Amino acid sequence: MPERKSVVRLLARAPAVLALGVALLNGCSGRHDADPTKSKAEPETRELMLYLGDGLTMELTFLRPGTFVMGSPENEKAAGSEEKPAHKVTLSKGFYIGVHEVTQEQYAKIMGENPSGFSGEKMPVANVTWDDANEFCGRLTKKTGRTCRLPTEAEWEYACRAGTTTTWWFGDQWPKGNISDIWWFYRDSPCAVGTAKPNPNPWGLYDMHGNVAEWCSDWYDKDYYAISAGRDPKGPKRADPPSPEKGDGRVIRGSSYAGGPVSWRSGSRGSRGAPDKKNRGLGFRVVVQP
């Protein structure tokens, strides 16, 4: 009987002994427990590569949840009323976002055509409607098995600012010297993604200021910031009836090569377009849900 009790006690202690052994083994091999501050729902990797076929890929980077000030401060002289009031926004879920704008070769691979008014495989696709961009995301979802979509306006500005609070992500002063020596703006067309200077922003994203303007998922409302949700805003509902300032267009951010420093500001949001609008300076980038 004493022997049986000893066996029972040993079996009862087995899980603890095994756990101790595993812990010691991990310590000896240099492994560590997961960071207790990191949500288990968050991806462990910062980069995501989508495979589009025939060796073609799309690179995205993961942005963790965070809080930032969206909109432009009162002392930003170029800011319009649609950019105010500046307000705190919390994005409670991380997301992957395209390191680059969608290129012409990527778009053609998924959609079977290239509608751009200028030619170059590594140049951003343009002359696409919001409906086109949304359809691209739907087809990419089916092809890759990942949930692909356009960014919300809040996600876009969060990505553009990259933790900064200045007029542009690189500061409040425009670089000195001949603008054409620093940027590709004021030219007849965009350039290949990722080739402009200065680039990338602190979070590794390229062409957030210019190249081509970018579609967002939200409907546009000039006065939305006054009533915007402080947590995961997705934009207003479409107005009924819609008007040029409320609910008749989708948000466009980032401006294009045809713009200027004022329209390239991180907080600039005067642009919008009907979902079937096309423009040779209008493209998009993709967001993927973890």
User: Tens digit of pLDDT for each residue in 126-178?
Assistant: 999 999 999 999 999 999 999 999 999 999 999 999 999 999 999 998 777 65
In a domain? residue 172: yes
CB 159, CB 247: distance < 8 Å: no
Note the pLDDT of residue 179: 57
Confidence check: pLDDT of 33 > 90: no
CB 221, CB 245: distance < 8 Å: yes
In a domain? residue 38: no
Which pTM value belongs to this model?
Answer: 0.83
Sorted by sequence, the CB contacts under 8 Å of residue 27 that are 6+ apart come out as none
Average pLDDT score over the chain: 84
Confidence check: pLDDT of 100 > 60: yes
Name the least confident of 76-85, 94-103, 190-199.
190-199
Note the pLDDT of residue 45: 64
- Give the residue numbers spanning the domain of 184: 47-288
140 and 8 in a common domain = no
In a domain? residue 40: no
Where b means 16+ CB within 10 Å and e means fewer, 124-141 reads: bbbbbbbebbbebbeebb
pLDDT average, residue stretch 10-14: 39
53 and 29 in a common domain = no
Domain count, the chain: 2
In a domain? residue 214: yes
In a domain? residue 240: yes
